[in-house]
Structure 1
Amino acid sequence: MTLISLILALALEQLRPLGNRNRVWLLFTRYANQLERNLNAGAERHGVLAWFAAIAPVLLLSLLLFYSLKAASPVLALALNVLVLYLTMGFRHFSSAYSEISQALAEGRDLDARIALANWTGQPTAELSVGEISRLAIEQGILDSYRHVFGTMFWFAVLPGPSGALLYRLGSMLNQKWGNRSGEEDPFGLFASRMAAWLDWIPVRLTAAAFAVMGDFEDAIYCWRSQARAWGNYANGILLASAAGALGVKLGDPLRQDYSLKYRPELGLGDDADSSHLKSAVGLVWRSALLWLAVTLLISLASRMG
């Protein structure tokens, strides 16, 4: 059921993409905002309580519904899995912006590419060169592919029913709201940040390994081991360094933003990034996703034979 659910959800998402700002996630965002207003009294334990209050009811309800439907008909349980995966994962959450930037660069419309990249990443892009646009787009695409595809796939496969996909997606959303507050010392978001790091620990490394297998293996492993820790966020560094090595392209490096030079360590080996590498990055992500599906199939067959 796991493999079929993943394939059907990915196919449905390609046919009818669902944006990030759909009503389901807007409803959960309002609920999280309400919890923060009512529970944030400046202590870490309040953040722990709010995190469980936000996620536990959803997980319990999903498990209750899953097992109830499974008892009635496995097809209904499969439909629930597909629906939850459709809401929580998918390439089209980010690929439209990525495709828009790639096409604009290929047609020489640098200004349009800068505007699309700024809308996607929320970063200033007016001073970026074509190479810098390409680098930043590849980096954002790799990170978004992990958040919206690989992380969700892993936890869906590990936990029963749709609970794993919900746990990962909701945990990521709470970390973005409460844990990633740049420049703020707010104990309320510490637990959300720790839980997100814990949920990412295994799938980040498996995703990086998939990039290595489906690209230049030796360079990917070398960049992972030697360059990832220099990145500010180690988990992101693992993903970006391994992807850069697998693609044979240089990522990271300083960017010209806000009339200053923003320092970033170098990641990867080989050529400087340009618009041609954008398609290579998409190919790497798709091959890695297919590898994960193949491994899921083998595990399912082995468990059935056992």
Structure 2
Amino acid sequence: MDTAPILICALLLDAALGEPAWLWKRLPHPAVLMGRAIAVLDRRLNHGPDRKARGVAALALLVLGGGAIGGVLSLFGPVVVTIAAAILLAQRSLVQHVSAVADGLRMSLAQGRRNVAMIVSRDTTAMDTSATARAAIESAAENLSDGVIAPAFWFLIGGLPGLVIYKVVNTADSMIGYRTEKYLDFGWAAARMDDLLNWVPARLTALMIAALSGGLHRWSDITDDAHRHRSPNAGWPEAAMARALKVALAGPRSYDGTIQPLSWVNAGGRVPLTPADIDAACAILWKTWGVFLGLTALVLLL
């Protein structure tokens, strides 16, 4: 099955419809089903000795199951594959969630905090306007890679099985890929696999953002900031986004009541941020989506 024309249709379908609330109020979203499967494996395997081996086994089950489900759905033809791929892409919903933070801040700081708490895991109760806007923009950059470019990339490479495998690994990383006592060993395999699967998409996302904003001449600066980031992949789109907007991102923030002294991305950029900066980030999300759509069409032509 030729993946490029199907991906083009899926990207357009996702951009047009996003996540229909009427549908997902009645049916569990595939990401929810993935989360339930991961939670079951967590409860049943994350105990006793050899937790790292158990985590590897859990990841293997998830990958095999995801690949099998993607393979079975592929047998139903391109229409089903297109719909399934569109459901697992997140461009429109990402823009909606990020834009909601800007809209909330224009109403009140409290509303902006409530809206950003839906898309970030850091503490939000003490955030000022700049911190709230910064969190939204960072989430936009990272999730552009994780939620749009990476799943689309793996669909191009491996069809629907590749996309489903990527999504289940990424979901597992978000649930168990933490460096805590409970998950340091059990979540190790999921975290490392997620790093591997996002290696190319994260850098591709950064490259597209930099090209769109005329920032390719500062690629070495983007690289330096990305290497200082706590994540081997998230720093790439964040560094490119920071320079596209000429703002400083990342920096110290609070998790579970503890301040984490994280490095700034584009430390020389503007620190006071406003809802307008979130709007500008959302515009970049759509432009990058458009570039990727064009690249996919180029793959089809070639």
Same-fold status (TM-score > 0.5): yes
Tell me which residue corresponds to 2:282. Answer: 282
Tell me which residue corresponds to 1:12. Answer: 13
> What's the CA shift for 1:235?
1.2
Instruction: Name stretches of at least 5 consecutive residues in structure 2 with no aligned partner.
Output: none
Equivalent residue for 2:198, pick from 193, 200, 203: 200
Distance 1:18 1:219, change over 3 A: farther
Tell me which residue corresponds to 1:63. Answer: 71
User: When the two structures are aligned, how many residues end up with a matched partner?
Assistant: 292
Instruction: Name stretches of at least 5 consecutive residues in structure 1 with no aligned partner.
Output: 70-76
> What's the CA shift for 1:278?
0.9
CA distance in 1, matches of 2:62, 2:20: 23
> What's the CA shift for 1:283?
1.5
Distance 1:152 1:257, change over 3 A: closer
Distance 1:255 1:23, change over 3 A: closer
Tell me which residue corresponds to 2:134. Answer: 135
Asked whether the equivalents of residues 174 and 192 of structure 1 are also in contact (C-alpha less than 8 Å), the reply is yes
Opposite residue 131 of structure 1, the aligned amino acid is S
Opposite residue 295 of structure 1, the aligned amino acid is L
CA distance in 1, matches of 2:55, 2:210: 37
Opposite residue 137 of structure 1, the aligned amino acid is A
> What's the CA shift for 1:140?
1.1
* TM-score, normalization by structure 1: 0.85
1:153-211 per-residue CA deviation (whole Å, 9 max, x = no partner) reads: 1101111x311211110110111222225354642221111111110111111111111
Asked whether the equivalents of residues 17 and 92 of structure 2 are also in contact (C-alpha less than 8 Å), the reply is no
Tell me which residue corresponds to 2:153. Answer: 154
Tell me which residue corresponds to 1:100. Answer: 100
SS at match of 1:46: helix
Which stretch shows the higher mean deviation, 213-222 or 190-199? 213-222
State which structure, 1 or 2, has the greater radius of gyration over its C-alpha atoms: 1
Tell me which residue corresponds to 1:72. Answer: none
Tell me which residue corresponds to 1:30. Answer: 36
Q: CA RMSD of the aligned region, Å? A: 2.6
Tell me which residue corresponds to 1:241. Answer: 239
Larger relative contact order (CA 8 Å, sep ≥ 6): 2
Opposite residue 221 of structure 2, the aligned amino acid is C
CA distance in 2, matches of 1:197, 1:15: 30
* TM-score, normalization by structure 2: 0.86
SS at match of 1:271: coil
Are 1:42 and 2:49 matched, yes or no?
Answer: yes
Opposite residue 279 of structure 2, the aligned amino acid is K
> What's the CA shift for 1:114?
1.4
